[in-house]
Structure 1
Amino acid sequence: MAAQNIDDVVDGLAEIVREAVRTGDRIGYFAALYRQVTVEIRAAIHAGLFDDGARMDRFDTLFGNRYFDAYDAWRRDRSGPRCWRETFGLLDDADTVIVQHLILGVNAHINLDLAVAAAGTGPGADIQTLRRDFLLINDILARVVLAVQDSVDALSPLLSLLDKVGGRSDERILDFSVRESRAEAWHNAVVLAGQDEEERAATVERLDSRATVLARLTARPGGLVRPALELIRHTENDDVPAVITHLDNAVRQASAARRGTG
């Protein structure tokens, strides 16, 4: 699939989510998170919150097509960027917990795709004019991730074990992963924007290699994280369609909860 605008991105992600619910495919976990981020970005564009709404529509379309290209390549012949192959290759692994699938998708899409899409939207010196809007997207992403984290907490009652064994008493693991990646993505976008075609290809290859290493570490962690994940897996919801539906309603549920306490 190829999106022409942000509406197409939302529709494409919604279709992936619907099909994943129908077939019980864990690909719907990250797609549900990503769909909600895109819906929120579209709402911000319509509300005039960005310096250049039309540019952000192009940006989000480039970003979305990076995901769709990886998705189509995997479905077609198990090809595509290595970090996405690592991510999609674990979809049938019942030992991988919900938050791992989400972090794997975040890793590939932010540590590789986000910088490429930003540099494509603002090549050369134009990348600096994108900074404020890029940071606003980061704020939107963080807000959605927090809502999805609440949803994951409800699905994985022992998820807090990861914070304890990781020594992050004041962090939530999904938000921590996203915030770390967002800062690095802007730096890489600036680098890519100033490079020629050959240099960009080498940088993209380097980013893919790094994201692939991070994917492998996420999928097969060592130390105390491994037994913690085993405990989480035995207690979390394993009804894949129900999990996708729950994740896909995370922002709406969070908004309803805020209204209920306001």
Structure 2
Amino acid sequence: MEVNIGVVDKMMAIVKNFEANKDNRTIFLHCYSMMTANMLVAIEQNKFHDSQWIGQLLNRFADYYFNALTCYDCGEETPLVWKEVHKAAATKKLHVIQHLLLGVNSHINYDLVLTLYDMLSPEWLGLSDEMKVKRYEDHCLVNLIIGETIDKVQDEVVEKYSPGMDLVDKLMGRFDEMLLLKLITEWRDKVWDHGQKLLVLESEADRAKYLLELEKNVLKRADWLDTQIWFR
């Protein structure tokens, strides 16, 4: 079976446009495209319990990013967590790591929660306990793929936009990559918990209230990332 890399092609076409316009949003999207490419390879190699389900989740996850990007660039109403990321890329002088983590924060801590709910809510009550465990194990396996991608992200994206990071990488060895992976893993663990909590809320009003609180927390984390002078 041939791996469908259409979503990666779409990402890289936008990356090239961003680069041509010196748009800092290229930093997150370039990294995201590399992660997506590695995910597709893992799907092709049948590393997941349910490759088809993971493939659908991958596409749904990407749709949240593409939709927010299109809305913002067309002047339409944009999810607040993404509106602030796009504004920061255009108006603020931040370190490459800050631009990267601002995008990761919105996409994982907000979009991934919505994606998991979208994927799990139609099936959750009908899944066996064994399949529920397998869904969670597939979610956790992504952490390993992220870990395998981080070195390449460091070499091909981070150091491209901040050459001085090459020296940091050499001095710290694997420590900086391990810190980044630990952070993302902790975020993704919490995302699964958020998804589980959404699944047991019975009313749309309760879910909307929960997501509003989630949005506030994501924005609060973005404010913290935005102001950390130790990145610079």
TM over 0.5: yes
- Can you list the C-alpha shifts for 1:66-125, whole angstroms capped at 9, x where unaligned? 111111111122632212111111112352111100000010001101121112112234
Asked if the contact 1:59/1:117 (under 8 Å) is kept, the reply is yes
- Can you list the C-alpha shifts for 1:37-66, whole angstroms capped at 9, x where unaligned? 111111111111111111111101110011
Large movers: runs of 4+ above 6 Å? none
Asked if the contact 2:146/2:181 (under 8 Å) is kept, the reply is no
Alpha-carbon distance change, 92 to 159 in structure 1, aligned in 2, over 3 angstroms:
farther
1:73 aligns with 2:80: no
- Corresponding residue number in structure 2 for 1:141: 146
* Secondary structure of residue in 2 paired with 1:71: helix
Q: Match for 2:186 among 180, 190, 199?
A: 180
Q: Percent same amino acid among aligned pairs? A: 23
CA RMSD of aligned residues (A): 2.5
Asked if the contact 1:96/1:219 (under 8 Å) is kept, the reply is yes
Q: Match for 1:42 among 40, 43, 64?
A: 40
- Can you list the C-alpha shifts for 1:170-223, whole angstroms capped at 9, x where unaligned? 5555334323311211111211233343322222222111111111111123xx
CA–CA distance in structure 1, aligned partners of residues 110 and 27 of structure 2:
19
CA–CA distance in structure 2, aligned partners of residues 178 and 37 of structure 1:
13
Q: Match for 2:198 among 192, 205, 210?
A: 192
Normalising by structure 2, we get a TM-score of: 0.82
Alignment: residue pair count? 214
- Corresponding residue number in structure 2 for 1:26: 24
CA–CA distance in structure 1, aligned partners of residues 15 and 207 of structure 2:
32
* Secondary structure of residue in 2 paired with 1:91: helix
Normalising by structure 1, we get a TM-score of: 0.73
Asked if the contact 1:59/1:118 (under 8 Å) is kept, the reply is yes
Asked if the contact 1:103/1:177 (under 8 Å) is kept, the reply is no
- Corresponding residue number in structure 1 for 2:225: 218
Which consecutive unaligned segments of at least 5 residues does structure 1 have? Answer: 162-168, 233-262
CA–CA distance in structure 2, aligned partners of residues 85 and 209 of structure 1:
13
